[in-house]
Structure 1
């Protein structure tokens, strides 16, 4: 993005009198071209600056005349061009000062509004500065050549480039060497910036991988280096025995640093590297095509694993010392350094490298294996032309965390993310800050999220507020308070979040994985609020109409998304329910859009978008018959509360006679409401809790089904006809006795929750494993022909009732262990889960199974 593309949309009055000496209309015609000239870097009034300024004035006039030909106001523009030429032809440096002031004013206005300039503008300015410095060096070489050859050679230069009066050769050479060192520092800085951008790309930042411009810059500077070096050697007699060695030493340092810095890791190995896994990497020698001396044998590049301590020792020696010992065993780690004349590159590509094993070093304090950083060291020795100088080249890869098992991957990624984000450009390997500003952490999380999910929709300030509350465990601070805080590595991925079993990064990485795999399109369409607390959701939805819902990431589970929606209680008050979170596995079975379509109680996406309008494009098409004529089946989702309501409406008709109803039912079907059985259960059932306790997290369980409940699939295994309940019940002595057992209102229960004594038996198959033993409400065996008491009979006295129960228990055959559906994942009880915890008994623990 150019500076003018921003400035042109700003009010002209913000620039005051900037365009008093240069019309704004001409600035508009020149647009990007004006910013691609080094106006800001022409400092001084020497022959070089005057020459460059004159050339830029001529180029600008030609550009303006070409633009005037296609403009409607040609006459006015030509007059302005004539005025500029007459005003600045004799003093082109004055034009430089005017345009420099205009560009400075525009930059100040953009900085005031946006607080930053476009990155492309900074890069272009840096390139212009280097290009102008290279031109100055070439001018210096010509000046030195002219001074050495005498007055005759000076005539070959134009008037503006004539040698400065009273200039001495040693002084001119010293100035040229100083400018050479400045240009070298610019190249080295640009290489460091490229390396840093490559590291940030590991977290998802945009990265210009093309090394061709950087290689051209290195080659241009080395070419000028050799020209200047040749002039110095030719003038060795004038320089003297004292100055010449110092100059040659400086020359050697320039070439050595350029050569060593131009040996780069173009393709980084994986930063989380698992042993016994092949990987690829590649190095590139930018000055190879220009400097490598032809050799009978190809130069070979070796890859070795080094520890953090070894990397620091190499850095302190400026990568001049050879590696003493590799810290890991690597196979296929030697590759030839090859020059490609067509592409003009010199590379060594490692295609099948294998890290067999790693030698761990001593860790400090509480540091874990996944916090230990190492690197791959690439090294080679080459001979440079034309001097046949032997140079040892070494370069380190980015920090690597070596793992031996997949369950270490999550924590290893945290170490890499932190190092990539917060390391300095020129650092001791691999030192990184322990605390960083929360604002920088927000930028890092946003960058990682957008890169992993592959979306252009990043995190919002409301999301950052929720994340800050989570990582700092502070729900009283304002968003402004968090901006001045710093977050530590321990808070990021060492300390377990309060009340959870995982760290902040482990939770955030689970959200990343879920969104990347299943929710990318929903997030990109802004259908998921995601990063919001359950408490704030209740506050947000409490005043909304019934059926309003939103989507948020689970706060208590790793990699879960839940639906929060508003329902109305019997008293008309609103209540917010959170459906049990869906994992990536759940959403691979049935998509989030289809699950939302399944639930009739969901009507409007918060704040007021109809769900079909919001999620219609995410619904899967419902098909009819397939190619073979079969009717397609579909899995649909329901939640417990919805199923209970359907079950209640299905049995709204008054029950038939108790005796007939009892004889016709071999088992209690989940579709029957318990109130319809009150007259049957009353004489023989002691009071007891038949309803599961509410889910501890407040999530109503969801279930995917294909039209068949568990109890229905097991119903065929029951003998029929059979009484609905076994009278062999065991009463807890602590329970109060019912004064009137003829009738009572049973407590509500969940579908598929069996009543005492009616657990079904299942025929044992040789290939079917037995279900694990569970604590049962009824432990006594059932009778094949149990006695039962019509509801019209008078209640038995207490002692007779106990005797009756005992007789019933001793006579009946066992039907086998009752079926108890298992708990769903993460401990949330599903639609058929027992409400009793492990080791708990519904009745007296002193009663042994099968005995009263």
Structure 2
């Protein structure tokens, strides 16, 4: 925990201890009041019987003792009511920190985690603080009821227990309600099961999930409230006229909150939600935003009914992008990246009407997160420098405030007509599905300029090669570049054509490197790829990833109808035989 969180934790523990001390003091006060009441009535009864209401000299010492007891009782009542006031002040301070600082900070961490950031989104500590404060407030409310019982049994003019008690009742109730109102949150943002690293991008007709959770864990809250989910709740007619699409939830929109076994808190997980676009009856205005720039909100509403209290709760998820089959998922994911880099609550659904630029320092970090979140390696400074050339140009490299605009990110060419966004997205998908192990080993240099590539290889042994993402393939490809020496001894750098995912479906990249050959003149074909940069023998680097014909046959059995090529031979399974 940070120093601020340690201080908060100390205050929470102090609050818990103080409430327990008040509990003991109220018990002492009750005993003292009962003792005083008994002695007072006993003495009054004796006086009434003996002297018809007149205190005699024999009764004066006992009368003095009872008066002293009353003074002590009055002081104790003052102490108890003051302690309750002080504890409520402390609870209010803690609650303000939780709601104004810790909860928004967790939401920001979750927002960054949604776009790949390595942020801790565990709720255990936050839940512990919320729960302790809620328990203490409930105890204080019960203590105030006990105080009222004591007042009803015995009261007098200027009784400290009656001065300001109603205000303390209202304060305790208000704090408890406010804490509960802020304890409902979206634990897991909307996400399609097949794309766990791409939350908030949802496709029509494809199931997605979302989970909400109550941070306060109290026995009296186990009332199984129903939660209703809705989309774009409360949008006015003007919002609809702007051209935003309207959607329907095809599945059940209500879920009962049950106790989560792992946390002990109330939670509701919607697991099989499906969306369909609502056909507009009269839509004359065309939306000025593209499909992947429209942002939509899911809202969750529920009601907690307690013995003496009813609280309406509501929470919304982060804005989601809803796409159809023809909308590129890369563009939708780009919108999610851009929005969450730059914006938080309150949510702005028209954000992309005028999206602000982002500093390259921030964008480069987020781009690197895309790799570190699904692999074991982020992009290094040199790889990011090459991307900076693409986004900012060489002339802007020295500007630490270099700004990248949305149109640059979305539409500037990154190779073969594709955008920079699509170019990065496709290489990331290729890395995840086809060369993850090689990437994790650090054998792919990813984004590398051709000038830098030549500089690295120029002084290396002939046959030294490196792997980089292709500049000229918007659908994702890996280019292999090696160095050889000409007849006069000068280094010559040569490259293969981009090796795409279509190629990798036929031949795994390690096999391609092992079996790659070139023919020069009348000489027999030779493999020019000998040392992986800087000086790792080819078979040492890739040997454990080579596959044989039998491996290819196994993959064919798993995926019938596909052809695989290994070691230069095409394998075709015909009537159960390998040919």
Equivalent residue number for residue 823 of structure 1: none
Q: Indicate how the Cα distance of structure 1 residues 123 and 509 shifts in structure 2: closer, same or farther if over 3 A, else same.
A: farther
Given the two structures, how large is their TM-score scaled by the length of structure 2? 0.71
Equivalent residue number for residue 844 of structure 1: none
Q: Indicate how the Cα distance of structure 1 residues 168 and 356 shifts in structure 2: closer, same or farther if over 3 A, else same.
A: same
Say if 2:140 is the partner of 1:228.
yes
- C-alpha distance in 2 between matches for 1:340 and 1:623: 47
SS state at 1:544 partner: coil
Q: Shift of residue 412 of structure 1? A: 0.8
2:419 to 485, 500, 503: 503
Equivalent residue number for residue 475 of structure 1: 394
Q: Is the 8 A contact 1:289 1:344 kept in 2?
A: no
Q: Is the 8 A contact 2:183 2:215 kept in 1?
A: yes
Say if 2:488 is the partner of 1:557.
no
- C-alpha distance in 2 between matches for 1:623 and 1:383: 64
- C-alpha distance in 1 between matches for 2:262 and 2:466: 58
Q: Shift of residue 123 of structure 1? A: 8.7
Equivalent residue number for residue 449 of structure 1: 371
SS state at 2:497 partner: coil
How many residue pairs match? The answer is: 483
Say if 2:449 is the partner of 1:533.
yes
Q: Is the 8 A contact 2:415 2:471 kept in 1?
A: no
- Which structure is richer in relative contact order (CA contacts within 8 A, separation 6 or more)? 2
SS state at 1:269 partner: strand
**Bigger proportion of residues as strand:** 2
- C-alpha distance in 2 between matches for 1:244 and 1:362: 61
2:226 to 288, 291, 300: 300
- C-alpha distance in 1 between matches for 2:261 and 2:116: 33
Q: Shift of residue 477 of structure 1? A: 5.1
- C-alpha distance in 1 between matches for 2:439 and 2:222: 56
Say if 2:472 is the partner of 1:576.
no
- C-alpha distance in 2 between matches for 1:541 and 1:363: 57
Equivalent residue number for residue 19 of structure 2: 138
Q: Shift of residue 195 of structure 1? A: 3.3
Q: Shift of residue 199 of structure 1? A: 3.0
Q: Is the 8 A contact 1:530 1:551 kept in 2?
A: yes
Given the two structures, how large is their TM-score scaled by the length of structure 1? 0.50
Say if 2:291 is the partner of 1:369.
yes
Q: Shift of residue 482 of structure 1? A: 4.9
- C-alpha distance in 1 between matches for 2:569 and 2:3: 59
SS state at 2:461 partner: coil
Q: Deviations over 1:582-616 (max 9, x none)?
A: 11121121111111112311222222222222222
SS state at 2:499 partner: coil
Structure 2 gap ranges (5+): 35-73, 152-157, 192-199, 240-244, 517-526, 555-562, 572-579
SS state at 1:612 partner: helix
Equivalent residue number for residue 616 of structure 1: 543
- C-alpha distance in 1 between matches for 2:110 and 2:480: 39
- C-alpha distance in 2 between matches for 1:136 and 1:164: 22
Say if 2:212 is the partner of 1:283.
yes
SS state at 2:369 partner: helix
RMSD value, Cα = 4.1
Q: Indicate how the Cα distance of structure 1 residues 570 and 365 shifts in structure 2: closer, same or farther if over 3 A, else same.
A: farther
- C-alpha distance in 1 between matches for 2:207 and 2:214: 24
SS state at 1:587 partner: helix
Q: Is the 8 A contact 2:465 2:482 kept in 1?
A: yes
Q: Deviations over 1:303-338 (max 9, x none)?
A: 11116957xx9xxxxxxxxxxx98534421112233
After superposition, residues 75-474 of structure 1 pair within 5 angstroms as 120=1, 125=6, 128-135=9-16, 137-138=18-19, 141=22, 145=26, 172-188=83-99, 189-206=101-118, 211=123, 213-232=125-144, 234=147, 238=159, 243=164, 246-270=167-191, 271-287=200-216, 289-292=218-221, 299-306=225-232, 327-339=247-259, 344-358=264-278, 367-385=289-307, 387=308, 389-405=309-325, 407-424=327-344, 426-429=345-348, 434-452=356-374, 454-455=375-376, 457-472=377-392, 474=393
- C-alpha distance in 1 between matches for 2:181 and 2:406: 34
Equivalent residue number for residue 785 of structure 1: none
Q: Shift of residue 256 of structure 1? A: 1.7
Q: Is the 8 A contact 1:170 1:239 kept in 2?
A: yes
Q: Deviations over 1:371-423 (max 9, x none)?
A: 111122111223123x1x22222111222111111543111111122333443
Structure 1 gap ranges (5+): 1-119, 154-162, 314-324, 628-632, 638-703, 708-852
Q: Deviations over 1:706-737 (max 9, x none)?
A: 69xxxxxxxxxxxxxxxxxxxxxxxxxxxxxx
SS state at 2:202 partner: strand
Q: Indicate how the Cα distance of structure 1 residues 339 and 590 shifts in structure 2: closer, same or farther if over 3 A, else same.
A: closer
Q: Indicate how the Cα distance of structure 1 residues 634 and 431 shifts in structure 2: closer, same or farther if over 3 A, else same.
A: closer
